[in-house]
Chain A
Amino acid sequence: MYYVVTFALIITMALALTRAILGPSVYDRVLAVNMLGTKTVLLLSVIAFLMGRPDFLDLALAYALINFIGVFAVLEFFRNRAAKQPEEKP
Chain B
Amino acid sequence: MELLGLYYYWVFAILLMIGLYAVIVKLNLIKKLIGLSLFQAAVFLLYITMGKLEGGTAPIVTDANANGLFSNPLPQVLILTAIVVGISTMALGLGIVIRIKEEYGTIEEDEIQEIDK
Q: A residues touching B (Cβ–Cβ < 8 Å)?
A: 51-53, 55-56
Contacts and interface: CB of A to CB of B under 8 A. Distances in A.
Contacts of A52: 57
8 contacts: A51-B57, A52-B57, A53-B57, A53-B58, A53-B60, A55-B60, A55-B62, A56-B58
Interface string B14-56: 0000000000000000000000000000000000000000000
Given A53-B60, A56-B58, 6 more contacts: A51-B57, A52-B57, A53-B57, A53-B58, A55-B60, A55-B62
A24 B58 CA distance: 41
Interface of B: 57-58, 60, 62
A28 B83 CA distance: 30
B76 to A, nearest CB: 14
Contacts of B60: 53, 55
A32 to B, nearest CB: 18
Nearest to A90: B106
A55 B57 CA distance: 12
Contacts of B57: 51-53
Nearest to A51: B57
